[in-house]
Amino acid sequence: MSVRHHWKGSARADVRHVASARLAPRKLFTKAQREFYAQHAPDGVTLDDLSIFGPIFVLKLKLVPKHFGRKLVAEMWLYPDGSRILELSTKCAPHEAFQVAAELRAVLTERGVNLDGEQETKTRKALLYFAQRAQVTMTPA
């Protein structure tokens, strides 16, 4: 269940209030989300026990490049350690997936974009980064 699309109030203000400890984390979630969490979370771990992982600066651009003819969404995730991930995405019908992927690959290759780089998901990278930082912070010196 995605919190991102089911905010109860002003998302930015609410998240800032949680980050500054002026609002309990559980207040970010709807009643249905809190119930879902209660049913599936490990025993003894409440929403208020959770830690915030972030922030990550994200640049997002929607465009329709020449010679492609479809809307592309580009997201650049800039991580606190200076690393970054660029994600390009587009939508199409399932039966068009391979054709659209081949067309996009051709357009990117024609423009000199190296497609052989290491592949990593932005969310996994973010979770690993902040989990490692949390362990370092929580480990006694």
Q: What is the pLDDT of residues 87-140, one digit of tens each?
A: 999 999 999 999 999 999 999 999 998 898 888 889 899 999 998 888 755 555
Any domain includes 1: no
Taking the model in full, what pTM does it have? Answer: 0.67
Residue 7's pLDDT is what?
42
Whether cis (ω within 30° of 0) applies to the bond prior to 55 is yes
* Same domain? 83 vs 26: no
**Are 29 and 47 within 8 A, CB to CB?**
yes
* Same domain? 28 vs 65: no
Any domain includes 30: yes
The token pair at 15 is 């998240």
Range of the domain at 42: 11-49
* Same domain? 30 vs 82: no
* Same domain? 79 vs 116: yes
Q: Which residues pair with 89 in a beta bridge?
A: 73
- The number of domains in the chain is 2
113: DSSP letter = -
pLDDT bracket for residue 10 (50, 70, 90): low
